[in-house]
Structure 1
């Protein structure tokens, strides 16, 4: 049975959708404002969200990224007014599964509802169940965090490239470490490339390495970070900061698993697993010509989107207790507690 959330200020629309959804064996919840809809979606896992564009407290189109940022992300079906065809196109481009145009009727919406629910049912049958994980430093028991750890388990059990997206401070590197630490590559190196802090003039030599005499100051040969990750995991942190010239070169490395260090005459191979992370909208960067579409396609073979703490308040208590215990241990004092009123 699927859980369906309906966000629409028209109670008639909510009633019609709820009745149809429950008549075919699923559960429906209705709310009438954008704020209450976003709160509800952060507290409970939903398979499908029907989202009106024109809500009293905001534009539904602007809420699509937040809804898709929950884990696991729901399918979003936009409900538009009769005069909003452009909004429907924008919604689809931003990840909405489908759209319905008012006025709604049983004939108009029955097939789309069945299609999206069947799609979610098929999707769930192919999801692997959660397994026991080593998750050092990852704290929280919210639905979003549990779903995220399910994805970590799936990623750890495969060799596929993973793109981790989320705001600064959401724990992207912790998730990358967890994927590596639970994979068959755990005994080998986890090599971090901080793309945001590498000067553009040093990116190529840092990644690919160089031979002695390759440039002024190269008084000895040095392995690049790609070679250092041989047998292990290469983590490209803030991959959106890579210069376009390096993006092209790195795309070839992903395709061939070989590269030529600066000044070298022969290519060398490196067997690494790639995990990348970003706090930027790479799809938008592609549209602006700042990121290669073909590289993004290869990076996001599997995608994990991390929700900010403000969208998972249920994790606040766990985090406070975890870091309080660590601080007390560090300072050699008895573990402190908190009164119920504090939370």
Structure 2
């Protein structure tokens, strides 16, 4: 019997939905706080979770990633009393199964549950896909695991793939992994760096040319699209393709046929296309800088690579792996001190994995004959940024922390802890209502509290909405 869990601070809704789901023949239970709900998910097997957004002790959207890390993680249906468009979009980007308003009817909730269960049954019955070889991709974070799952899916079909992400996140590495695990692995993986090609050479590079097509064309030249026949064509920084080339390239994708410059004959090429970019192609489409029809062809599958700052648990793994490879080449065995590791985790890494690996190369050289890496070995710019962030964090902490040695003359004026907490809470809610100008929806979003909780506090402290 499938197990359904409802996490919502509105007990009336919880009881109502539990009753509906139990009548459908499922085992339904509920928890009124996020912590209690997460504890239940950890301790019991749950198939479907109906998760509220605004809970007394946190935001449901923030918990999606935690829930997804569980083995056999449940499908998540976000529920909310607010028509929050941004929240709905974030829920979908976080891989929630569905998003439903509390205003919907019982029938809608029952339908959402049935569809989620059907999807779950099909997913569990699906034969496991072949193991893929991604030894070159280092990391154990949930975000990277999600990307590896998508690589597995992409490797077992022939659809165009668009890989997005900041500079230095490893877009070409992931593209090669798709090719190496596909049925085309024994054919060419042809790389085209669209950003480095002069605009007047892009078409010639991709399509090739016939002898005599222009001055200096003393012989036929095979284009990269023809070289990628039966293999994979990788367009790095596809956002840099000129608009006129985009139009011609769209036909190639549709027909798998193109004509080299100056040639009377058309050439066939059965290549698999993988593109990558650090730019927002959807925004470029809105600005008429990228063809919409080509965008939809490229967007058959999208793999977004997370920045390194969002997967900090992988920083040390990447650094250690690269350091080990340096040891294998040089014979010098270096270890990273605890302080050095802390500095690596503190830094934001705007250049992502590429910047991290380059930094490890530098400190390995900087250490000379030393066997232990210390913060002093790091580049000055990283140490300067880190010390600035440490001071900012310390100053922020000091504004909220009383002195360790209070002025004895003023000890008698210190209120009781309970009174201090109540006064602080009162001031917080009062200031928040002023800032949001009485907008309860915005107040809930900023505070992370439910609408009911906010109204109870307003009544308790006799605060009038603006």
Question: Do these two structures clear the TM 0.5 threshold for a shared fold by scoring above it?
Answer: yes
1:68 CA displacement: 4.9
SS in 2 for 1:265: coil
| Distance in 2 separating the partners of 1:236 and 1:183 | 18
1:335 CA displacement: 4.9
1:297 CA displacement: 2.7
Q: Is the 8 A contact 1:142 1:312 kept in 2?
A: yes
| Distance in 2 separating the partners of 1:194 and 1:211 | 23
SS in 1 for 2:162: strand
**Residue of structure 2 equivalent to 1:95:** none
Question: Greater relative contact order (Cα 8 A, min sep 6): structure 1 or 2?
Answer: 1
Question: Are the structure 2 counterparts of residues 218 and 183 from structure 1 closer, same or farther at C-alpha, using a change threshold of 3 Å?
Answer: same
| Distance in 2 separating the partners of 1:342 and 1:14 | 49
Q: Deviations over 1:207-264 (max 9, x none)?
A: 1011222223323321111011122110011222222211111111112211111111
**What TM-score does the superposition give when structure 1 sets the normalisation length?**
0.74
Question: Are the structure 2 counterparts of residues 176 and 157 from structure 1 closer, same or farther at C-alpha, using a change threshold of 3 Å?
Answer: same
Q: Is the 8 A contact 1:34 1:60 kept in 2?
A: no
**Residue of structure 1 equivalent to 2:10:** 12
Deviates more, 1:181-190 or 1:38-47: 38-47
Q: Is the 8 A contact 1:325 1:336 kept in 2?
A: no
In the TM superposition, 1:233-312 aligns within 5 A as 233-312=232-311
Deviates more, 1:256-265 or 1:324-333: 324-333
Q: Is the 8 A contact 1:135 1:178 kept in 2?
A: yes
**Residue of structure 1 equivalent to 2:89:** 64
| Distance in 1 separating the partners of 2:3 and 2:245 | 44
Deviates more, 1:324-333 or 1:123-132: 123-132
| Distance in 1 separating the partners of 2:230 and 2:140 | 33
**Residue of structure 2 equivalent to 1:154:** 153
Q: Is the 8 A contact 1:46 1:74 kept in 2?
A: no
In the TM superposition, 1:37-186 aligns within 5 A as 37=63, 40=66, 47-48=75-76, 50=78, 61=86, 64=89, 68=92, 73-77=95-99, 99-100=100-101, 107=106, 110-111=109-110, 113-114=112-113, 117-118=116-117, 120-121=119-120, 124=123, 129-186=128-185
**Residue of structure 2 equivalent to 1:84:** none
**Residue of structure 2 equivalent to 1:205:** 204
Deviates more, 1:264-273 or 1:236-245: 236-245
Q: Which has the larger radius of gyration?
A: 2
- Does 2:59 align with 1:33? yes
Gaps of 5+ in 2: 30-45, 343-466
| Distance in 1 separating the partners of 2:122 and 2:237 | 30
**Residue of structure 1 equivalent to 2:324:** 325
**Residue of structure 2 equivalent to 1:23:** 28
**Residue of structure 1 equivalent to 2:229:** 230
1:3 CA displacement: 9.2
SS in 2 for 1:11: coil
Q: Is the 8 A contact 2:48 2:75 kept in 1?
A: no
| Distance in 1 separating the partners of 2:159 and 2:139 | 26
**Residue of structure 1 equivalent to 2:189:** 190
SS in 1 for 2:211: coil
Question: Are the structure 2 counterparts of residues 251 and 218 from structure 1 closer, same or farther at C-alpha, using a change threshold of 3 Å?
Answer: same
Question: Are the structure 2 counterparts of residues 215 and 288 from structure 1 closer, same or farther at C-alpha, using a change threshold of 3 Å?
Answer: same
1:278 CA displacement: 2.4
Question: Are the structure 2 counterparts of residues 325 and 68 from structure 1 closer, same or farther at C-alpha, using a change threshold of 3 Å?
Answer: farther
Question: Are the structure 2 counterparts of residues 194 and 38 from structure 1 closer, same or farther at C-alpha, using a change threshold of 3 Å?
Answer: farther
Bigger share in helix:
2
- Quote the RMSD (CA, aligned, Å): 3.7
**What TM-score does the superposition give when structure 2 sets the normalisation length?**
0.57
